[in-house]
Amino acid sequence: MAIQRQHGAEHPYWPLGPFKVRLPFIHYRWEYPEMVQGLFMFVVSLGMIPLLMKYLGMPYEAALAFCVVAGIGYLLPALFGVPLVPGWITPAIPVVLLFLQNFEPGPEAVKAMFALQLEVFIIFLFLGLTGLGNKLVTVIPNSLKSGIIIGAGIAAMMGELKTGGRIDNTPISLLIGSIVSAYILFSLSFKHIVETNKIAKTISNFGMIPGMFIAMILGWIVGEYPLPDIEWGITQPDFGGMMNYLVFNTGMPSADMFLLAIPTAIIAYVIAFGDILVGFTLCKRVDHLRPDEKIELDVTRVHLVTAMRNGLHAVLAPWPGLAGPLWTAAHATVAERYALGRKAMDSIYSGGGTFWVTGLIAVFILPLVSVFKPVLPIALSLTLVLTAYICIMVGMEELKNSTERGVAGIVAVTLAMPDPKATVYAVVIGLVLYWLIERPNAAQRAKTDLSIIGDNTAAIEAGDEHGVAQKR
């Protein structure tokens, strides 16, 4: 029996420095709908296996062991008091892959990935401890930030649509799966149907799962993917073999690797900070509907936990997806059920905690893993396609005038080039164009924006949504 929460109070926890420890069954109850989702949506996390095999040169069993390490990392936010459902820094994946193309798969790529992930760890840790994260994001020109986000979306889409990409090999499953997923997640007409139809509402609660299942079934029917060879028992991740792909055995990266990784690490942080704000917004949207629980949104704690996860990966499982603070689709689904009341979901932590505890367990369930093994590429493809849509949509919304749109467009196109040094070129070109084209009118606007964002950040940390709205 979990510890009971008093009405209107913060959910029970054990204090541990800056963290608030919550354990399943002790501090929060087990949520069966999230358990069911975790048993299926964990396959998205396995979608990183094809990238590990291609870019780091790993065998399947060793890559599966990396997924176990990732699964442990997914538990940390709910465990240490962060109400966000974690995932990858998904929009940064195309940029990371461009960086990895500089290196041969194997020891060199592993060292490069370690250097990048270690830098992401340092950025999150430093900016979290000092509170400088908000200031860094305000210093970066809006056109550069938006261009990076849009460019990451374009790169993600082009990676799927290019000649020799998955669109050539699996056109039916990829196109139809993407259309169904996009319709369920983003369509205004479907949202209208959800308001009046219980079946549609149930489908919407599963996010991208329906589209993914349709893509998989079609892939099997038309022969784009081989039928699964279902096995029984538990999986056998090769923890011994994965040691060959850690920096302890490959050696430390060179100074050049660390220098080359810096632009990609900064880009990844900028994208991840945007995810933090999105996650906080999703929490605040449902917080006022649940007066029985006070949700604490702590920017510093999110930074520290995300730093811990990236440090864990750097040492034990270098991860091209990086460790991000938010899996938008999963968190939105959890928040939607949370809004239905305490009977539906006891706490925001019980939803996210149950989801990823189940996801980690599912990695060891051989029948599930063997069913999804042939179609892992489609799970990754759908994730990248949907991420591309969200990146382009969000990036365009942030641009305020035609000058910013022009600079952002150049940055986006440069970033999406099939060149391993595209990230460096994009940042340099974006800064040069900002100073040459935008700067005369930017000084006063930047000063005003800095003041507004500073006030908004203080209001977010104080939980004052009304105050933020008034500032805007």
For 414-428, write each residue's pLDDT tens digit: 888 877 677 778 888
Residue 204 or residue 104, greater confidence: 104
Average pLDDT of every residue of the chain: 85
148 confidence band (pLDDT: 50, 70, 90): confident
The yes-or-no verdict on residue 277 having pLDDT over 70 is: yes
Looking up tokens 């999986």 gives 235
The yes-or-no verdict on residue 372 having pLDDT over 80 is: yes
What are the extents of the domains in the chain?
25-170+225-401
C-alpha distance from residue 323 to each of 303, 396, 419 (Å)? 11, 25, 24
C-alpha distance from residue 453 to each of 30, 206, 397, 434 (Å)? 38, 34, 17, 20
Nearest to 151 by CA among 432, 419, 423: 423
Q: Residues 7-35, buried b or exposed e (16+ Cβ, 10 A)? A: eeeebbbeeeeebbebebeebbbebebbb
Tokens of 299: 């920017």
pLDDT in tens, 91-134: 788 889 889 988 999 999 999 999 999 999 999 999 988 878 66
The share of the chain scoring above pLDDT 90, in percent, equals: 38
Residue 463 or residue 297, greater confidence: 297
Residue 343 or residue 281, greater confidence: 343
Lowest mean pLDDT among 54-58, 70-74, 445-449: 445-449
Q: What is the largest CA-CA distance in the chain?
A: 66
Lowest mean pLDDT among 84-88, 105-109, 139-143: 139-143
The yes-or-no verdict on residue 149 having pLDDT over 60 is: yes
Give the residue-averaged pLDDT of 226-233: 90
Nearest to 186 by CA among 199, 204, 167, 201: 204
Lowest mean pLDDT among 2-11, 13-22, 23-32: 2-11
The yes-or-no verdict on residue 453 having pLDDT over 60 is: no
Amino acid identity, position 472 = R
